[in-house]
Amino acid sequence: MNSLTFPILRLLADGQFHSGEALARHFGVTRATVWNALQDAEALGVKLFSIRGKGYRLPQPVRFLDRDAVMTALGGEAGKFTLEFHDRIASTNSYLMQQAATGREHGACVVAELQTSGRGRRGRAWQAGLGNSLTFSVLWRFDCGAGALSGLSLAVGVALMRALRELGIADARLKWPNDVLHQQQKLAGILIELQGDLDGPSAAVIGIGLNLRLPETLRKTIDQPATDLHTILGQPPDSARGLGTVLRHLAGALEQFDREGFEALREEWMAHHAFDGQPVCVHMPDGRQIDGVAEGIAADGALLLRTEQGTQRFSAGEVSLRAAT
């Protein structure tokens, strides 16, 4: 990657026009060097406007993350995380999974300004551009085996509900097992990947994507209705405050989950259940569809579905839940 690309993008973050000449003078390089750096930005999917005589600008202002602001928002929980910021990375989860295998410390948090190959559940891509989403992953180590971590994604969902409430969104809902909805539109997603032995210890890499401000062109590439903090709150979101707030509540929920299991968080999760008591359909990996009524969540985080054959349990795995149509 061109080493000037993100320094220039930070100057363009105000959303105003900056001439190629002024940018070249600022960095002590030629205008051709500036042009090459911005070509690299466009190759990464960053949209730029260029007008002869005026220069370059981003479609809208971008708030780059500020470490000190994140630490301030973390407050007393700051010591529980080691923050690592990347301008650009393929996938924070993939990167941290590799790091976990070589002994990366508990509480490591990898944050990306631009994630180029973000992943969701079932192999889906997480669509995001510069300034559009808050994308990060956290490494959390447990003494128990990976088999005892059922319900972990739901515990993370509870943490997101607590954080969103503090950020001014009280009516978000949880879609089992890993999505956050607002008015039936996706606001955030969770991806958990595990390492470790059956009997322990184990490590979880918890990936979170939270939509900040989605342009219409990006919304059209997402395979389901989506929304963002800017739309809900009516103002540009403070990504640093958002990250610090989510991490602070994540630490509390994960520590409670580690001590008491998901059962201690089950009632709180149920209070935000998007489809409780509603007709839904479960899509199985083999293509089958099972219809029923969502009856709640078991103590281990399994979905309970009332069907014509009786109540059935579903673990997350590769199962997908949808509202009945």
The crossing angle, in degrees rounded to 10, of helices 263-270 and 152-166 is 50
The CA-CA-CA angle for residues 49, 52, 58, to 5°, reads 20
Among the listed residues 57, 80, 121, 248, the single catalytic one is: 121
Residue 306 is a catalytic residue: no
Beta bridge mates, 80? none
Residue type, 193: E
Which string of b and e fits 76-91 if b means at least 16 CB within 10 Å?
ebbebbebbbbbbbeb
The crossing angle, in degrees rounded to 10, of helices 67-74 and 239-260 is 40
* Coil, helix or strand at residue 314: strand
Structural tokens at position 216: 């219409």
Among the listed residues 104, 162, 173, 186, the single catalytic one is: 186
Residue 186 is a catalytic residue: yes
Among the listed residues 54, 67, 122, 322, the single catalytic one is: 322
Q: Please give the Cα distance from 158 to 173 (Å, whole number).
A: 10
Pick from 66, 56, 69: nearest CA to 113:
66
Structural tokens at position 273: 């259940």
Residue 121 is a catalytic residue: yes
Beta strands in the chain (DSSP E): 49-51, 55-57, 82-89, 108-115, 133-142, 173-175, 179-182, 185-196, 202-211, 279-283, 289-297, 303-307, 310-314, 320-323
The CA-CA-CA angle for residues 201, 147, 246, to 5°, reads 75
Q: Please give the Cα distance from 165 to 274 (Å, whole number).
A: 16
Q: Is residue 193 classed exposed, middle or buried when 0-12, 13-18 and 19+ CB atoms within 10 A define those classes?
A: middle
Give the torsion sign (CA, 214, 218, 220, 223).
Answer: negative
Could you give the residue numbers annotated as active site? 121, 186, 322
